[in-house]
Chains A and B, each alone.
Chain A
Amino acid sequence: MLFKRKEFLQIGSLASASLMMPKFLKAFEKKAVVPPGNKVMVVLQFSGGNDGLNTVIPIRNDIYYKSRPKLGIEKQQALQITDEAGLNPALPFFKDLFDEGSLGIMNNVGYPNPDHSHFRSMDIWQSASDSNEYVTSGWLGRYLDAQCDGCGKPTQALEIDDVLSLALKGENLKGLALRDPKKLYSSSNERYFKEINASHDHEEAAVDYLYKTLSETLESADYIYSQSRRHPSSQMYPPTQLGKNLKTICSLILSDINTKVYYVSLGSFDTHVNQENQQKRLFTELNDAISAFVKDLKSNNRFGDVAIMTFSEFGRRVAQNASGGTDHGTANNMFFIGGGLKQKGLLNPMCDLNDLNEGDLKFTVDFKSVYATMLHNWLGADDEKILGKKYEIMSFV
Chain B
Amino acid sequence: MSISNQLKNQHLLWRAAFGPMAENVNELADISQKELYKVLEKTSSKKPVELNVATNTFDGFMKGLQDLGQMQKLNRDQKKQLRKQSVEDLKNLNLTWLGEMINSEAQLREKMSLFWHGHFACRVINIYFQQQLLNVIRENALGNFGDLLRQVSKSPAMLSFLNNQQNKKQHPNENFAREVMELFTMGRGTYTETDIREAARAYTGWGFNLKGEFVNRSFLHDTGSKTFLGKTGNFDGDDIIDIILDQKATAKFITGKIYKYFVNDNIDEQKVEHLAEKFYRDNYDLQKLMNEIFLSDWFYQEKNIGTRIKSPVELIAGVRRLIPMELQKPEAQLLFQRVLGQILFYPPNVAGWPGGKNWIDSSALMFRMRLPQILTNAEEFLITPKDDDDVMMGKEGIDKNAKANQLQVIVDWNSVVKVFDQTSRENLFGRVNDTVLQTKNSINPNVLKRYVDNTSREGFIKSTIIELMSTPEYQLC
A residues adjacent to B (C-beta < 8 A): 1-5, 8-9, 47-48, 116-120, 154, 161-164, 176-180, 183-184, 187-188, 190, 192-193, 195-196, 199-202, 204-207, 209-211, 213-214, 216-217, 220-221, 241, 265, 267-268, 270, 272-273, 277-278, 281-282, 321-323, 327-328
Contacts of B163 in A (CB 8 A): 272-273, 323
Residue of A nearest to B196 (CB): A116
List residues 261-302 of chain B with CB under 8 A from any CB of chain A: none
Query: Can you list 23 A-B pairs with a CB-CB distance of less than 8 A?
Result: A1-B378, A9-B381, A118-B391, A164-B362, A176-B362, A183-B384, A192-B470, A196-B471, A202-B440, A204-B439, A206-B309, A210-B360, A210-B473, A210-B476, A213-B361, A213-B362, A241-B387, A268-B393, A272-B163, A272-B393, A321-B173, A322-B168, A327-B174
A5-B373, A162-B339, A268-B390 as given contacts; A321 in contact with B447, CB under 8 Å: no
Of B42-50, B206-214, B458-466, the one touching chain A: B458-466
Residue of A nearest to B359 (CB): A163
Most buried by A among B166, B362, B370, B443: B362
Task: Tell me whether chain B's interface is mostly helix, strand or loop, or mixed.
Answer: loop
Contact for A187 among B166, B358, B367, CB less than 8 A = B367
* Cβ B379 vs Cβ A213 within 8 A: no
| C-alpha gap A164/B357 in the complex (Å) | 11
Contact for A278 among B175, B393, B452, CB less than 8 A = B393
* Cβ B447 vs Cβ A209 within 8 A: no
Contacts of A183 in B (CB 8 A): 363, 384
* Cβ A4 vs Cβ B379 within 8 A: yes
* Cβ A207 vs Cβ B476 within 8 A: yes
Known: A199-B447, A214-B369. 20 other contacts (CB 8 A): A1-B463, A3-B452, A5-B379, A116-B178, A118-B349, A120-B188, A179-B386, A188-B362, A192-B451, A196-B447, A200-B472, A207-B441, A210-B472, A214-B472, A216-B362, A241-B386, A265-B390, A272-B173, A281-B394, A327-B173
* Cβ A199 vs Cβ B173 within 8 A: no
* Cβ B391 vs Cβ A267 within 8 A: yes
Residue of A nearest to B463 (CB): A3
| C-alpha gap A241/B387 in the complex (Å) | 7
* Cβ B166 vs Cβ A322 within 8 A: yes
| C-alpha gap A75/B365 in the complex (Å) | 50
With both chains docked as a complex, state the minimum distance between the C-beta of B259 and any C-beta of chain A, in angstroms: 17
| C-alpha gap A108/B166 in the complex (Å) | 28
Contacts of A188 in B (CB 8 A): 362, 366
With both chains docked as a complex, state the minimum distance between the C-beta of A71 and any C-beta of chain B, in angstroms: 13
> Per-residue CB proximity of B332-367 to A under 8 Å, as 1/0?
000000010100000001110000011011111111
* Cβ A273 vs Cβ B166 within 8 A: yes
Is B70's CB within 8 Å of the partner chain A?
no
With both chains docked as a complex, state the minimum distance between the C-beta of A113 and any C-beta of chain B, in angstroms: 10
Contacts of B23 in A (CB 8 A): none
| C-alpha gap A216/B362 in the complex (Å) | 8
* Cβ A206 vs Cβ B306 within 8 A: yes
Contacts of A282 in B (CB 8 A): 394
* Cβ A1 vs Cβ B459 within 8 A: yes
Is B467's CB within 8 Å of the partner chain A?
yes
With both chains docked as a complex, state the minimum distance between the C-beta of A76 and any C-beta of chain B, in angstroms: 26
With both chains docked as a complex, state the minimum distance between the C-beta of B360 and any C-beta of chain A, in angstroms: 6
| C-alpha gap A176/B362 in the complex (Å) | 7
Contacts of B365 in A (CB 8 A): 210, 213-214, 217
List residues 368-420 of chain B with CB under 8 A from any CB of chain A: 369-370, 373, 378-382, 384, 386-387, 389-394
A3-B463, A3-B466, A267-B390 as given contacts; A207 in contact with B173, CB under 8 Å: no
Contact for A2 among B366, B394, B452, CB less than 8 A = B452
* Cβ A217 vs Cβ B362 within 8 A: yes
Is B170's CB within 8 Å of the partner chain A?
yes
Contacts of A241 in B (CB 8 A): 386-387, 389
Residue of A nearest to B378 (CB): A4
Contacts of A278 in B (CB 8 A): 393-394
| C-alpha gap A241/B389 in the complex (Å) | 10
> Per-residue CB proximity of B171-183 to A under 8 Å, as 1/0?
1011100110011
Contacts of B193 in A (CB 8 A): 116
Contact for A192 among B173, B188, B392, B467, CB less than 8 A = B467
Contacts of A273 in B (CB 8 A): 163, 166, 393
| C-alpha gap A216/B459 in the complex (Å) | 32
| C-alpha gap A207/B310 in the complex (Å) | 12
| C-alpha gap A195/B444 in the complex (Å) | 9
A9-B380, A241-B389 as given contacts; A162 in contact with B451, CB under 8 Å: no
Is B453's CB within 8 Å of the partner chain A?
yes
| C-alpha gap A178/B378 in the complex (Å) | 25
| C-alpha gap A76/B378 in the complex (Å) | 62
Residue of B nearest to A201 (CB): B444
Is B475's CB within 8 Å of the partner chain A?
yes
Residue of B nearest to A118 (CB): B349
Residue of B nearest to A198 (CB): B447
| C-alpha gap A199/B219 in the complex (Å) | 69
Is B56's CB within 8 Å of the partner chain A?
no
| C-alpha gap A162/B379 in the complex (Å) | 22
* Cβ A204 vs Cβ B441 within 8 A: yes
* Cβ A187 vs Cβ B393 within 8 A: no
Residue of A nearest to B162 (CB): A272
| C-alpha gap A109/B370 in the complex (Å) | 44
Is B446's CB within 8 Å of the partner chain A?
yes
Most buried by B among A162, A201, A221: A162
Contact for A196 among B358, B379, B443, B475, CB less than 8 A = B443
Contacts of B174 in A (CB 8 A): 116, 327
| C-alpha gap A213/B362 in the complex (Å) | 6
| C-alpha gap A54/B104 in the complex (Å) | 51
Contacts of B366 in A (CB 8 A): 184, 187-188, 193, 217
* Cβ A268 vs Cβ B447 within 8 A: no
A210-B360, A268-B393, A322-B170 as given contacts; A3 in contact with B453, CB under 8 Å: yes
Is B307's CB within 8 Å of the partner chain A?
yes
With both chains docked as a complex, state the minimum distance between the C-beta of A309 and any C-beta of chain B, in angstroms: 20
With both chains docked as a complex, state the minimum distance between the C-beta of A209 and any C-beta of chain B, in angstroms: 6
* Cβ A321 vs Cβ B166 within 8 A: yes
| C-alpha gap A241/B390 in the complex (Å) | 11
* Cβ A268 vs Cβ B389 within 8 A: yes
* Cβ A321 vs Cβ B171 within 8 A: yes
With both chains docked as a complex, state the minimum distance between the C-beta of B330 and any C-beta of chain A, in angstroms: 22
| C-alpha gap A268/B306 in the complex (Å) | 36
Contacts of A3 in B (CB 8 A): 373, 378, 451-453, 462-463, 466-467
| C-alpha gap A327/B387 in the complex (Å) | 25
Q: 7 closest Cβ contacts across the A-B interface? A: A210-B472, A322-B171, A217-B362, A241-B387, A199-B444, A3-B463, A164-B361
